Amino acid sequence: MRMHLLSYRFALLIIALGAVLFAHPVRAQQSAPSSVSIPTLHDWGTMRLPATLYLDTEIPIVNTAKAGAVNIVEIKPGCGCTKTDPDRTVLLPGDTAHVKIRLNVTTSQHGMIQKNVRIRTAHMGDTLESNMMLQVTLQRALTIGPSLFIPFNDAVVGRRSISEITIQNESDLPVTIADLVYDQDVTSDLTPNEVITPRSTRTVTVSITPKTAGQIYGGLRFVARGNGDDDSFNLPVYGTVTKVAGK
């Protein structure tokens, strides 16, 4: 009899707990909506190196809050970018500010390039940090390897030092090396108007005979012509001359 009484009380407890749970359902916590709308990515796609050596875009910043002004506190682009100030810094609900961003590129770059732009805004006492990625893929007429910088790790004053690079034409069209220029004491076995045949790789021997100790400067520059738009290359050398021949 006692066991039946305990079971009866336990059943009543379960029913009471169920009534409480159904009367007060548990709700998932929802995050507050953002007060601004900023694109997360601007992609120029795949393209040749622009002759201007920069790419421009414009970032819209929209106040999406139902009430309260949004203040643009800071716009900080990553290395390689420049910016202009937004056309407005205080945005009422529904207002849009525009920020011009410039991505600088160089003749020594290729492949995918990504730079981050950090934007801080303030709304009714809260500060929000947003990030936008700038992206472009530079498709070059020729592929230079192992890198677009030419190292000289054993340079000695008064002695010829050499380094090798490869120039690869992955296309089905011949590419001509035009406007070949050497800077400082750099030279190579690459010849003006030399043709890199389709689907071929040319190993180039670059040499320098340092006249003084210290940092090495110089390089070689040329224009790849014959497969789409002209493509300019600047291949700097680097290294440090620390010894003198014969010592």
Residues 110-164 have pLDDT tens digits of: 889 999 999 999 999 999 999 999 999 998 899 999 988 899 988 899 899 999 9
Q: Work out how many domains the chain is built from and give that number.
A: 2
Question: Residue 105 is part of a domain; what is its CATH number?
Answer: 2.60.40.10
Residue 21 belongs to a domain: no
Residue 12 belongs to a domain: no
Residue 198 belongs to a domain: yes
Judge contact between 82 and 104, C-beta under 8 A: yes
Using CA atoms, how far apart are residues 1 and 57, in angstroms rounded to an integer? 83
- Give 143's DSSP letter: E
Residue 155 belongs to a domain: yes
Q: Does 126 share its domain with 42? A: yes
Residue 99 belongs to a domain: yes
- pTM, two decimals, is 0.65
Q: Does 126 share its domain with 147? A: no
Nearest to 161 by CA among 221, 206, 219: 206
Residues in the chain, overall count: 247
pLDDT digits (tens, 9 = 90+) for 72-117: 999 998 887 888 889 999 999 999 999 999 999 987 788 899 999 9
Q: Does 173 share its domain with 131? A: no
Q: Does 180 share its domain with 199? A: yes
Q: Does 147 share its domain with 78? A: no
Q: Does 162 share its domain with 95? A: no
Which of 85, 111, 138 marks a domain boundary? 138
pLDDT in the model for residue 84? 81
Domain with 107, as residue range(s), is 36-138
